Amino acid sequence: MKKNETIERYLQLAAEEARKGVEADHGGPFGAVIVHRGEVIATAHNEVVHRNDPTAHAEILAIRQAGKVLGRFHLEGCELYCTGEPCPMCFSAIHWAHLDRVVYCNTKAQAAEIGFDDQFITEIITGRQPDPIPFLHLPDPACSSVMRFWDEKEDKILY
């Protein structure tokens, strides 16, 4: 099978997963597939509505599943195929997971056209819009103590 045919097959799997989610009323039309060394190890669709969980995006659920399958939290050697360009939350999770590559079909602009517009988050992150949620920095000795405890822990697992 040619490389493009393989990519198309993974994207087709992501689309099938997205369709399953839409048919089940689990959430928006988003599906994700994670591949490790040519093997599909995780598939997921958006489950925001089903789980009442705003973080239950297809990419996040697939990353969680892949971590369990591989038994590790860094997913080097893995590629993510998804039906939509990742939102800011998923974009961050992709980087935290250290995925090797992301291939997506629909753009953020296309998602915005059907009601999934995350531009407001980008505007807040880049400082072009004020954050409507107040964030209050309140230093506390107990919290600082936990940070020191972690820093001094000799057998910690860095990530």
Instruction: Report whether 119 contacts 108 (CB < 8 A).
Output: yes
Structure-block tokens of residue 15 = 């689309």
Task: Return the amino acid letter for 127.
Answer: G
In whole angstroms, how far apart are CA 87 and each of 38, 71, 102, 109? 25, 26, 13, 11
Concerning whether 59 is annotated as a catalytic residue, the answer is yes
pLDDT along the chain (159 residues), means of 10: 82 98 98 97 98 98 98 98 98 98 98 96 96 96 96 94
| Cα 59-65-69 angle, rounded to 5 deg | 140
At residue 3, the pLDDT reads 66
Over the Cα atoms of the chain, what is R_g? 18
Q: Considering 8, 17, 39, 59, which one is annotated as catalytic?
A: 59
Q: pTM of the predicted model, to two decimals?
A: 0.93
At residue 5, the pLDDT reads 86
Task: Give Cα 145 distance to the centre of its chain.
Answer: 31
Report the alpha-carbon distance of residue 41 to residue 1 in Å, rounded. Answer: 19
